[in-house]
Homo-oligomer: A and B are copies of this chain.
Amino acid sequence: MGSDGRPVPDVAGSVLAAREHKDITLILIGDEPRIADELSKHDVAGLDINIRHAAQEISMTDKPSEVIKGKPESSIHVGIRMVRNGEADAFVTAGNTGAAMGIAMLRRVGLGRIPGVKRPALGAVFPIKTRPFLIDGGANADCRPEQLLQFGIMGSLYIERVAGIPNPRVGLMSNGSEEGKGNALIREAHELLKASDLNFVGNIEPKDFANGDVEVAVTDGFTGNIIIKASEAIASYIKDRLREEIDASKRATVGALFARNAFKAVADDANADVVGGVPLLGVNGVVVIAHGGSSERAIWQAIDKARLAVEHKIVDAIRDGLA
């Protein structure tokens, strides 16, 4: 019950995930009658899908700080408590990101941090062909150098386990690839990363990231979020401008029709639905956060991300890695 179109894509995506992996149990959390009604529209024969009622609802405009205390029976609270109590292995939501992060991070109401973790972080996969992974994608606007080192460690462990890439290359996002470039945070974090056991390749620029020159790009959550949003803005600008120019000419319209499959291929690999959701790494349990505008395919992929994180014991890996 988290997405903007709830419960439609949430339920449909869950059915897709359950069909793909018949050995998993899915528990849909939220207003029971609405979920049951939506679920009745699907063929769920042979699938293990249950419903858990949640009496409160968090909206996208609710302030995270207020709902953490104020709505203890929201689907986010209920779901995260289930992970804490061992009733579930992972929690997936397309709801209010700030609320989900806040509730998950707080030990009192949620999961708290894995021992040793300074700050949990969002591990964002970019929807481009090289699928670069960036951490932190937006959980921490203000960071200290030691936190960036931990983001590198958590990101490296995640990519090694979940993507199966041994000893992934880790880069530090900067405004220039030369050592010494960057702001004070980057220069200090550079030293820490260099002295670590990570496969640290040094500073990288956005173009190195887009080219897939590293598997893990480390950044503070402010810069990471700005990079994601600037990339989306430029991609959307180019798409709109091309459409505008093509629509303005009959000749170009015919041409674009012939080149349709090429456009579709590029749009498809830039489709955020393929990525699904981003893991909140460093909390004491598996939490995957999907976009509010998630489609059923995005929900399905977000659930699959959670499944992989459980299967590869990412929480244990981070605990051991930081110890």
Contact = CB atoms under 8 A, between A and B. Distances in A.
A242 interface: yes
Nearest to A184: B142
A182 B229 contact: no
Q: How large is the interface on A (under 10, 10 to 19, 20 to 34, 35 or more residues)?
A: 35 or more
A89 interface: no
Interface string A239-283: 001100110110110111111111101100110000000000000
A123 interface: no
A251 B258 contact: yes
A252 to B, nearest CB: 4
Interface stretch (A48-56, A69-77, A156-164, A220-228): A220-228
A138 interface: yes
Contacts of A322: none
A129 B222 contact: no
A259 B266 contact: no
Interface string A76-91: 0000000000000000
Contact of A259 (B184, B229, B233, B256): B256
A145 interface: no
Nearest to A141: B183
A209 interface: yes
B222 A210 contact: no
Contacts of A229: 175, 205-207
